[in-house]
Amino acid sequence: MPSDLELIKVVPSKRQIDYQSTEFYAFFHFGMNTYTNREWGDGTEDPRIFNPAELDADQWVSSVKNAGMKGVILTCKHHDGFCLWPTLYTKHSVKASPWKNGEGDVVREVSDACHRYGMKFGIYLSPWDRNQPCYGSGKEYDDYYISQLTELLKDYGEIFSVWLDGACGEGPNGKKQIYDWKRYYDCVRRYQPNACICVCGPDIRWCGNEAGDVRKSEWSVVPARTALAESVQEKSQQSDDEEFRQRKITSDMEDLGSRTALKGEKDLIWYPAEVNTSIRPGWFYHQEEDDKVKSLEELKHIYIGSVGGNATFLLNIPPMPNGLLHENDVKRLNEFGKWKQAAFACNLAETAGISSTSEDSDYPVHNFLTDTMNTWYQPEEGCGQVELIVSLKSAENIGYLVLKEAIQYSQRVEVFEIFVRNSKEWISTYSGTVIGYQKIIPVFRDNVKEIKIVIRDYRILPLISFVGIYKNG
C-alpha cells in the first residue's frame, strides 16, 4: 500500500487545476442528428438537410453564461462524420450544405462568440467516423483524423478542452479502427499545450455514466490504469442505447481512490472526474422532448454532487434545427443562474469569529477566508484531530457550507465531520471523506450560531484554502 507521503506526491498539472476551476460548462450537440431526429447517424445523411437559417451563437453562449458556466464544448464532428467547419479533408461538411451557400462555419461562429463573452472554448471530435471510407484501415484513417484535429487546434484560437469519445464501430471494410491515442494526444500537446484531453485522455476522467450520477467520494489520486484509453473505450457507449444514457454508478465503481482502494497500487496519477449529462433525455434536439427539460431541482442536485463533490459538471444543451436554443432550455438556464448567484452571494464566515485547536503561525486560520489556492490554513505538525469553529455574528438560517483544499499540494483530507450549534449542544449534520478542489455541503439548519469542522483523518497535514458559509434563501 502506498504511504501517505507517496500519496501526496501525486499532484495536478497547471492545466488540470485550470480545468477544475472552470467548474461548470456547456456541451452543444449539434449536427446531422439535429435534422434527422436521431441520436446516432450512420454517415449516409445528405448535407443538404443541414440549414440552421437562424443560427445565433451569441444566443447559445450568452444563455449558458447566464447559468454561471465558464466554457463551451462543441460537437465539431459526431459519429456520422459530418463536419461543422469547412474542412479540407472531406466533402461531408458545411461546405456541401445550403447554409450560407456553403460558406458557413459553425465552429468559427461558436469560438468567436466564446471570445466575445469571455468564455472558454473546447472541441469534441469523434474518433469514429461512419462516413469516411478509410475508417478501419489503421494508419490511413489516423492520418485523416490527425489532419482534421490539427485544423481545429490551429485555426480557432485557444482551446481548453479536447473531448475524445470512446465510441468505436465497424467501418465499411468490416473492420474496427484501432485508435492511435498517443498520436492524438501528441497532436493536442503540440498545438494546444494548455488544453486538457478528456474522457479517453490523460487529463480528465469520465465519471462512468451519462445520467449525472456522482460518487459520494470522488478521489483525484487514482491508479494509473484508470486512464488507459482502451479500458475507458470499452466502458463507453458503443451504440444508440437510451438505457445506457440513464445508467447509474454501480457499487463496483464507487471507490477509486481511498487508502483501501489504493492498496497494492504502485503507479498513481492525478485524474479528476467530469460529470456529463444532458438537460434533456437525449443529447441532440428532439421536439418531442421540449417538455422534458430537467427541473431546476434536478440541476441543483447534479451541480452540488459534481462541482460540490470534487468534480466538474458538463451540461449539454442541444440547439434546434433553426440554430437557436429552445425557450424552455433558456428559461431553465436563467433560473439556474439566478439560484446559483443567490445561493452563494455572501460568505458569512468573512465577518465571523474563527478559532482552531491547532494553527501553524505561518498559515493562520484566517487564510481560508480568501477564495484562492495561493493561501491556506495549516495546523501544526503532530496535532492529531483538527477542529475549526466559526462563530457567526448572529444566528442565521444556513444553506450551504463550502470547503476547499489547496490541491496543488494534492488531496489530503480522508475523513471529516460537520457540526452546528444553535443553543448548548453540537449537532452532527454531515460526515464525509473527500474535500479536494471543492466540497459543497447542504446544511439547511435554522438559527445556527456556530459551525464546527472536525478533520478526523488526513494523509499529511491538511491545507484548507477556503471556507464559505452561505444563508438559506
Please state the domain extents for the chain: 4-343, 348-471
CA 278, distance to chain mean position in Å, is 12
442 phi, psi to nearest 5 deg: -70, 110
Partners of 468 in beta bridges: 402
Q: What is the pLDDT, as a whole number, of residue 226?
A: 85
Q: How far from 470 is each of 128, 256, 436, 465, CA to CA, in Å?
A: 46, 31, 20, 17
- For 367-421, write each residue's pLDDT tens digit: 999 999 999 999 999 999 999 999 999 999 999 999 999 999 999 999 999 999 9
Q: What is the pLDDT, as a whole number, of residue 1?
A: 63
Strands 273-278 and 205-206: parallel
Handedness of CA 253, 257, 263, 265 (dihedral sign): positive
Q: Which amino acid is at 42?
A: D
Burial 190-225 (b: 16+ CB within 10 A, else e): ebbeebbbbbbbbbbbbbbbbbbbbbebbbbbbbee
pLDDT band, residue 251 (cuts 50/70/90): very low
Strands (E), 97-184: 120-125, 161-164
Q: What is the pLDDT, as a whole number, of residue 245?
A: 44
Please determine, for residue 238, whether its predicted confidence score (pLDDT) is greater than 70: no
Angle, alpha carbons 339-279-332 (nearest 5°)? 35
Q: What is the pLDDT, as a whole number, of residue 256?
A: 87
CA distance 250 to 237: 16
Q: What is the pLDDT, as a whole number, of residue 451?
A: 98
Strands 221-223 and 268-270: antiparallel
**Mean pLDDT on 245-263:** 68
**Mean pLDDT on 167-174:** 77
Joined together, the cell numbers standing for residue 467 give 471556507
Q: What is the pLDDT, as a whole number, of residue 24?
A: 98
Strands 464-471 and 386-405: antiparallel
Query: Length of the chain in residues, anyone?
Result: 473
Q: Report the predicted TM-score, pTM, of the whole model to 2 decimal places.
A: 0.94
Q: What is the pLDDT, as a whole number, of residue 244?
A: 41
Rg (CA), the chain: 23
Joined together, the cell numbers standing for residue 312 give 466538474
Q: What is the pLDDT, as a whole number, of residue 172?
A: 76
In terms of pLDDT, which residue wins out, 136 or 252? Answer: 136
Q: How far from 251 is each of 20, 234, 266, CA to CA, in Å?
A: 25, 18, 24
Joined together, the cell numbers standing for residue 149 give 484535429
**Mean pLDDT on 140-169:** 95
Strands 273-278 and 311-316: parallel
CA distance 227 to 276: 17
CA nearest neighbour of 19 among 186, 192, 160: 160
Please determine, for residue 249, whether its predicted confidence score (pLDDT) is greater than 50: no
CA nearest neighbour of 274 among 317, 220, 318: 220
Q: What is the pLDDT, as a whole number, of residue 167?
A: 77
Same fold yes or no, 4-343 and 348-471: no
Please determine, for residue 295, whether its predicted confidence score (pLDDT) is greater than 50: yes
Q: Which helix (H) or strand (E) element contains residue 371?
A: none
Query: Using an 8 Å Cβ cutoff, are 182 and 222 in contact?
Result: no
Q: How far from 176 is each of 64, 119, 146, 280, CA to CA, in Å?
A: 37, 37, 17, 31
> 266: buried, middle or exposed (CB in 10 Å: 19+, 13-18, 0-12)?
exposed
Q: Which amino acid is at 117?
A: Y
Helix axis angle for 106-116 and 57-66, nearest 10°, is: 40
Return the SS3 of 270. strand
**Mean pLDDT on 173-198:** 94
CATH architecture assignment, domain 4-343: Alpha-Beta Barrel (3.20)
Other C-beta atoms closer than 10 Å to the C-beta of 100 total: 15
**Mean pLDDT on 108-128:** 98
Mean pLDDT of the chain: 93
Please determine, for residue 242, whether its predicted confidence score (pLDDT) is greater than 60: no
> 285: buried, middle or exposed (CB in 10 Å: 19+, 13-18, 0-12)?
buried
**Mean pLDDT on 283-304:** 97
CA nearest neighbour of 257 among 433, 36, 31: 433
Joined together, the cell numbers standing for residue 253 give 465503481
Pick the CATH number of 348-471 from 2.60.120.260, 3.40.50.300, 3.40.50.12280, 2.80.10.50: 2.60.120.260
Joined together, the cell numbers standing for residue 401 give 457550507
Strands (E), 369-463: 386-405, 413-421, 426-432, 439-458
CA distance 353 to 393: 8
Q: Which residues contact 454 (CB under 8 A, 6 or more apart)?
A: 385, 386, 387, 388, 416, 417, 418, 419
In terms of pLDDT, which residue wins out, 241 or 79? Answer: 79
- For 317-356, write each residue's pLDDT tens digit: 999 999 999 999 999 999 999 999 999 999 999 999 999 9
